[in-house]
Amino acid sequence: MTSKWLIIIASIGIFSIACAPLRPLGPDMNISARTAAAQKWIDSRNITGISEWDNVLLPWLGTPYKYGGNTKRGTDCSGFVSSVYMEKEKISVPRTTKDGFKNGKSVDKSSLIVGDLVFFSRQGNGNNVNHVGIYVGDGNFMHASTSLGVTITPLDDNHWKTLYLGARRYL
């Protein structure tokens, strides 16, 4: 087997753990309730209160989930984050959740600001980072959900608060 094929196979293995589906919707909130919750941001045209961020983030709301995607036609969590950062800040952030968590400046949850990246893990440790979103203020983060596409969810959501791993600042 050539080294080219080994690199491709290793890349597929690494990529397959990033943004893996985390769970079905919990009993605390169904799809229509979460969709309705996100509708307030769409209607108000205001997610962060910062027009430079809102102008980039609003068109992503409702984008369908697509594993490996990074466009408004379909995206996964790290594709969403990397595309938003490239569009808004013209900077590249790591494409995988694991690499994204390894880099950037560590930020305490109490010190989050708009644009910080928030990371989650099923095992609650940095060895299995499998979801990322962008902190949008007021305790909420925007992310690509496997069941809802790009949406906004409170960090203190019963599911997500148990999986929260930490945050990184790239700005």
Terminal-residue alpha carbon distance, the chain:
41
Which residue among 38, 131, 135, 164 is the active-site one?
131
Do 19 and 133 form a contact (C-beta atoms < 8 A)? no
Half-sphere exposure of 95 (CA within 13 A, CB side): 11
Which residue among 19, 38, 77, 117 is the active-site one?
77
Which residue shows structure tokens 């068109």? 59
Helix (H, G, I), strand (E, B) or coil at 42: helix
In Å, how far are 42, 88, 124, 142, 144 from 54, measured between CA atoms?
Answer: 10, 10, 31, 11, 16
Q: Which of 16, 20, 37 is nearest to 141 (CA)?
A: 37
- For residue 38, what pLDDT is reported? 59
In Å, how far are 44, 75, 99, 123 from 139, measured between CA atoms?
Answer: 18, 23, 24, 22
Domain positions in the chain are: 3-20+28-169
Q: Which of 81, 114, 75, 85 is nearest to 96 (CA)?
A: 81
Do 84 and 72 form a contact (C-beta atoms < 8 A)? no
pLDDT, one tens digit for every residue, the chain (171 residues): 555 544 444 444 444 444 544 433 333 444 454 455 556 656 667 889 899 999 999 999 989 999 999 999 999 999 999 999 999 999 999 989 999 999 999 999 999 999 999 999 977 665 689 999 999 999 999 999 999 999 999 999 998 999 999 999 999
- For residue 44, what pLDDT is reported? 62
- For residue 43, what pLDDT is reported? 62
Q: Which of 154, 150, 152 is nearest to 62 (CA)?
A: 150
Distance between CA atoms of residues 120 and 166, nearest Å = 7
What CATH number was assigned to the domain covering residues 3-20+28-169? 3.90.1720.10
- For residue 17, what pLDDT is reported? 42
Q: Is 159 a catalytic residue?
A: no
Q: How many CB atoms lie within 10 A of CB 146?
A: 18
Which residue among 47, 143, 146, 155 is the active-site one?
143
